[in-house]
Chains A and B, each alone.
Chain A
Amino acid sequence: MATTSVMGGDVRRREDPALIKGRGVYVDDLQPTALLHVAFNRSPYAHARIKSVDTAAAEKMPGVVAVFTHEDVADLGPLVAQVPIGKLRPLLSDGEIKHAGEAIAMVVAEDRYQAQDAADAIEVDCELLPAVIDLKEAKSDTTKVHEDLDSNVIHTWTYHGYWEALGLEDQTPQVDAAMERDDAVVVSLEMTNQRLIPVAIEPRSVLAEYNSGYNRFTVHSSTQIPHALSGAIATMLGVPPSDVRVIAPEVGGGFGAKLNVYSDEVLVAFAAKKLGRPVKWTETRREAGGATVHGRGWIGTATLVGTKEGEFLGYKLEAIADMGAYSQNFTVAIPLLGLFIASGQYKMPVSWTVDCVVTHTMTTDAYRGAGRPEAIYYLERIIDAFAREIGMDPIELRKKNFWQKDEFPATMGCGFALDSGDYAAAVDKLIEVSGYQDLIKMREEARAEGRHVGIGVGSYVEVCGFGPAVLAEIGFSWAAYGLPASFNGSGLVRVNPDATVSVVIGTGPTGQGHETTWAQIVGDGLGIPIENIRVRHGDTQEHPMGIGTFGSRSLAVDGVATFNATAKVREKAAKIAAHLLEASPDDVVFEDGAAHIAGSPEKSVEWAAIAKSAYQAHTLPEGVESGLEGHAAFSPGNATWPFGTHLAVVEVDATTGDVKILKYVAVDDCGNIVNPMIVNGQVHGGITQGIGQALFEEATYDESGNLLTGSLLDYPLPTASDLPPYELSHTVTPTDVNPMGVKGIGEAATIGSPPTIVNAVVDALSPLGVKHIDMPLRPKRVWAAIQEASN
């Protein structure tokens, strides 16, 4: 088994032994003594006025300890949010229900079956009100979602106006003028980027304990952001964050859905204090479907203007984004992340307007990619349609309009600068590794046989590595949670007296392999084998301030901070080793578990001796304090901007509408790579979630606001037999935003794959006259598009 600590090595994961033996500990696995269980009574209606909530029968049921309704928690106020635009969520429904699945009452009982029985026995008398689900109807304001808001449109993002302080030029007149040119080719499509349910396979779970002697909470939660959760509970319950210890143990997937603070997390902590016993709630899959945040949910029209020679003259997007009823953590800010990459890999003027609209549905928020898959989908689909219109190869068209290698850092119209890139190199590699010319030949041969084979490509830019301190000024701020506002990364590295290393980080991984990657970073810096390195995360008591894991940020921010902290430890260790070796610290080299003098490997001292010396004053050089640890923070000057191009070959069965993916090739560039095995795993998962959006998944509400897809029986995820093996390659364009030259990979493939798949299917059906099909491309929809085109 490869266990090298060298960066760039495909080291097997440190996380795995516990997980493959069933010994990993997730929140719902915990059963402290005297544990109580929670179940919620939730609204079946999308919009209704509550006339009464009768809990009398429920309170008398076996095992029931308490029932809480809005009156019990009204004093705590609504749930805090980072970007508090729109309506904040009441902890329990405060008189008017705004979406199906909204929590009305909380039952606490001795076991989970009794809690559920009692929750079902609560009688809620409601007056039904008209629900607004359709985005265009919501935007028209004919029916208000919240009577006390001026409009259902709670915010509008524009490319030049999202942050007035920048004084950006509105490029809309440029784009409009281009459309009037005599030689202009204008291509426009109205498209949906459908609402999705994140579906981490581990349902969310929270366990709270309160000790009235110490006045302290301990909260275990399945979260990506332990520190923010600690801050939110503390702020809402009126105690200092340091008295709310949040622990995220193993977390079974997050994908953005656990990048949030939920009312249930606050309520369970509240109940634990009130009742003086540990309290746990684990959501059911149906609750995960209807009461954990959704993602995407856009409709819009994309327009590309260019010349028939393939020069882009401007791009326009006019879209409506569904916010759901209440705003939670980032809700309204999600489209802003798309805005930053609205122009993709291309140099052209942009006019981009997204209206954020409330509806009587569950809140939308971050879901893998968060705003970026939406933005890139519109752009890459319209580029494909443009290529078809002017009869140019879609790769050639893209290449013609890329930012060129020597133009970086490239400042876009939105004011941010793409840090580094070589877009043409990635595309050239894709052409080579996919055998593009052969694929075209294969497609033509298949078509000659009457088969419907298509090739699609999608190029993306991602924005990640959050982030620059400037984000706090735009409105991304942890201040609402009683925490410092900015997005600093930090890392603490301590060599213990037994020569093991403790690395403490403030990330909140959900399967990304931080324990392995961070051990590689530290092991490489100190010359200590990774077996001796223990990486700890997800515990607010161990680490003063962590931002969590989301937005492909962890390595490029916290990883870099840990890299810098390692350098501090190495510097001090060099002094101690030099003292032991009677040499100069400048000559000390760390390698293979020991320090030696450069050029004299025989003159060495083992880490065991260095570590011991570090903690005993009499073996330390003069002026060196006992102990051996280093802490570093890192605040990047810019985000990082990874990129790549994906290619898919598909075949459509025209008689059934079934889509089969024959080949999937991805070339991604995330800068330097610490662990290629883990990076490729992230790409595999990202591609698959994108394929899920392209072909299978859709969260559907009917016109009355009933969620029709609340379980996995009606929300189809991709299965192993739906998918091809993936062929992955990388180009490496390091960034100078951080000293490791790393960028981020968690979301990239989820951004690249949806347009790639849809472009391929449309290519397959273009000989039949199909120009566009909205996702998900399920057989029925594809079949209908074929029928419509041929009639």
Chain B
Amino acid sequence: PVNISMTVNGQEVTADVEPRTLLVHFIRENLHLTGTHVGCETGYCGACTIHFNGKPVKSCTMLAVQADGAEIGTIEGLADNGSLHPVQEGFWERHGLQCGFCTPGMIMSAAALLAENDNPTEDQIRHGIEGNLCRCTGYHNIVRAVEYAGAKVRGEEPPPPDWEGGS
């Protein structure tokens, strides 16, 4: 085993891990932060997306030892003192999730996108989340959720829902 330490959601973590342990398994099984999901083990679906030194990365194709010394953020740490991150709120308000399995990774990617650009166009949002697969929503309401969140970040009134009879 190799001794590693990192900061996860603001807390110092030290552990002995087998060198081959995937970062996502370390997060889920050692740290019991099971909001980060495993969907494909090939870095394709994005369900395992976390923040690694502030950037969105796919934790299923990284080893835990590679995270030694890093600052890690997971979905569990996104809400600030119990108040939802604007992207989380947007997903709730605009029905950006159905089964919820891709959702944590999708939210982490979207939050990173908005951190770089808080007023993205629809096209920029769609390209910004294309590394995260969702099989339920067809992405339509995810895009609307990110637009909602962007408005919130900018301190503007979010656009109304676009489903028929929406309120």
List the interface of chain A (C-beta within 8 A of B).
1-2, 8-10, 12-13, 15-26, 28-29, 31, 112-113, 199-203, 250-253, 255, 282, 284-285, 510-513, 676-678, 680-681, 684-689, 711-713, 717-723, 725-726, 728-730
Contact of A203 among B18, B39, B125, B132 (CB under 8 A): B39
In angstroms, how far is the closest chain A Cβ from the Cβ of B143? 7
Q: Taking A24-B100, A677-B95, A720-B139 as contacts, is the C-beta distance between A203 and B165 under 8 angstroms?
A: no
B14 cross-chain contacts in A, Cβ below 8 A: none
In angstroms, how far is the closest chain A Cβ from the Cβ of B56? 15
Segment from B40-48, B64-72, B150-158 that makes contact with A: B40-48
Q: How far is the CA of A200 from the CA of B133 in the complex (A)?
A: 10
Q: How far is the CA of A225 from the CA of B39 in the complex (A)?
A: 22
Q: How far is the CA of A250 from the CA of B167 in the complex (A)?
A: 28
B135 cross-chain contacts in A, Cβ below 8 A: 199-201, 253, 255, 685, 689, 717
Contact B141 A684 (CB under 8 A): yes
Q: How far is the CA of A294 from the CA of B30 in the complex (A)?
A: 34
Q: Taking A201-B102, A685-B136 as contacts, is the C-beta distance between A285 and B127 under 8 angstroms?
A: no
Contact B161 A677 (CB under 8 A): yes
Contact B29 A31 (CB under 8 A): yes
B121 at the interface (CB under 8 A from A): no
In angstroms, how far is the closest chain B Cβ from the Cβ of A266? 24
Q: How far is the CA of A8 from the CA of B18 in the complex (A)?
A: 54
In angstroms, how far is the closest chain B Cβ from the Cβ of A382? 27
A8 cross-chain contacts in B, Cβ below 8 A: 165
Q: How far is the CA of A251 from the CA of B25 in the complex (A)?
A: 20
Closest residue on chain B to residue A512 by CB atoms? B98
B131 cross-chain contacts in A, Cβ below 8 A: 719
Contact A12 B134 (CB under 8 A): no
Contact A676 B103 (CB under 8 A): no
Q: How far is the CA of A24 from the CA of B142 in the complex (A)?
A: 19
Contact A684 B140 (CB under 8 A): yes
Q: How far is the CA of A720 from the CA of B102 in the complex (A)?
A: 13
Q: How far is the CA of A230 from the CA of B152 in the complex (A)?
A: 46
Contact A23 B35 (CB under 8 A): yes
Contact A26 B37 (CB under 8 A): yes
A13 cross-chain contacts in B, Cβ below 8 A: 92, 95
List the interface of chain B (C-beta within 8 A of A).
18, 20-21, 25, 28-29, 32-42, 44-45, 47, 74-76, 78-79, 84, 88, 91-93, 95, 97-104, 107, 122-123, 125-127, 129-143, 161, 163-167
Main secondary structure of the interface of B (DSSP, over half): loop
Contact B45 A201 (CB under 8 A): yes
Closest residue on chain A to residue B125 by CB atoms? A720
Q: How far is the CA of A718 from the CA of B45 in the complex (A)?
A: 11
Contact B101 A202 (CB under 8 A): yes
Closest residue on chain B to residue A513 by CB atoms? B98
Q: Taking A285-B42, A676-B163 as contacts, is the C-beta distance between A29 and B34 under 8 angstroms?
A: yes
A717 cross-chain contacts in B, Cβ below 8 A: 133, 135
B21 cross-chain contacts in A, Cβ below 8 A: 113
B166 cross-chain contacts in A, Cβ below 8 A: 10, 676-677
B125 cross-chain contacts in A, Cβ below 8 A: 720
Contact of B99 among A9, A203, A253, A686 (CB under 8 A): A253
Q: How far is the CA of A728 from the CA of B88 in the complex (A)?
A: 25
A723 cross-chain contacts in B, Cβ below 8 A: 126, 138-140
Contact A21 B35 (CB under 8 A): yes
Q: How far is the CA of A726 from the CA of B142 in the complex (A)?
A: 12
If A22-B104, A24-B100, A676-B163 are given as contacts, then 13 extra A-B residue pairs at C-beta distance below 8 Å, sorted by A number, are: A10-B165, A10-B167, A20-B88, A20-B91, A20-B97, A21-B79, A22-B78, A285-B40, A511-B99, A511-B100, A712-B40, A722-B130, A728-B164
Contact B76 A1 (CB under 8 A): no
A28 cross-chain contacts in B, Cβ below 8 A: 34, 38
Closest residue on chain A to residue B133 by CB atoms? A717
Contact A720 B142 (CB under 8 A): yes
Contact of B130 among A21, A200, A721 (CB under 8 A): A721
Contact B136 A253 (CB under 8 A): yes
Question: Can you list 16 contacts pairing A with B, beta carbon distance less than 8 Å?
Answer: A2-B167, A13-B95, A16-B92, A21-B75, A22-B36, A22-B75, A201-B101, A250-B99, A252-B100, A511-B98, A676-B163, A676-B164, A681-B136, A688-B137, A712-B44, A725-B140
Contact of B133 among A21, A250, A251, A712 (CB under 8 A): A712
B140 cross-chain contacts in A, Cβ below 8 A: 684, 723, 725-726
A31 cross-chain contacts in B, Cβ below 8 A: 29, 32
Q: How far is the CA of A8 from the CA of B165 in the complex (A)?
A: 9
Q: How far is the CA of A555 from the CA of B92 in the complex (A)?
A: 22
Contact A720 B130 (CB under 8 A): yes
In angstroms, how far is the closest chain A Cβ from the Cβ of B166? 6
B37 cross-chain contacts in A, Cβ below 8 A: 26, 201-202, 252
A18 cross-chain contacts in B, Cβ below 8 A: 100
B104 cross-chain contacts in A, Cβ below 8 A: 22
Contact A684 B137 (CB under 8 A): yes
Closest residue on chain A to residue B32 by CB atoms? A31
Closest residue on chain A to residue B34 by CB atoms? A29
Q: How far is the CA of A688 from the CA of B143 in the complex (A)?
A: 14
Contact B39 A202 (CB under 8 A): yes
In angstroms, how far is the closest chain A Cβ from the Cβ of B108? 9
Contact of A22 among B35, B93, B99, B137 (CB under 8 A): B35
B130 cross-chain contacts in A, Cβ below 8 A: 719-722
Contact A25 B34 (CB under 8 A): yes
Closest residue on chain A to residue B99 by CB atoms? A511
Contact A720 B126 (CB under 8 A): yes
Q: How far is the CA of A688 from the CA of B140 in the complex (A)?
A: 10
A282 cross-chain contacts in B, Cβ below 8 A: 38
Name which of A18, A251, A685 has the most chain B CB atoms within 10 A of its CB: A685
In angstroms, how far is the closest chain B Cβ from the Cβ of A725? 6
Q: How far is the CA of A17 from the CA of B165 in the complex (A)?
A: 24
B18 cross-chain contacts in A, Cβ below 8 A: 113
B88 cross-chain contacts in A, Cβ below 8 A: 20-21
In angstroms, how far is the closest chain A Cβ from the Cβ of B89? 8
Contact B34 A511 (CB under 8 A): no
B92 cross-chain contacts in A, Cβ below 8 A: 12-13, 16-17, 20
Closest residue on chain B to residue A678 by CB atoms? B95
Contact A20 B103 (CB under 8 A): yes
Q: How far is the CA of A253 from the CA of B45 in the complex (A)?
A: 14
B167 cross-chain contacts in A, Cβ below 8 A: 2, 9-10
For the complex of A and B, list the 10 residue pairs with the smallest distance between their C-beta atoms, beginning with the closest.
A22-B35, A252-B101, A511-B99, A19-B100, A688-B138, A22-B75, A511-B98, A29-B34, A684-B138, A720-B139
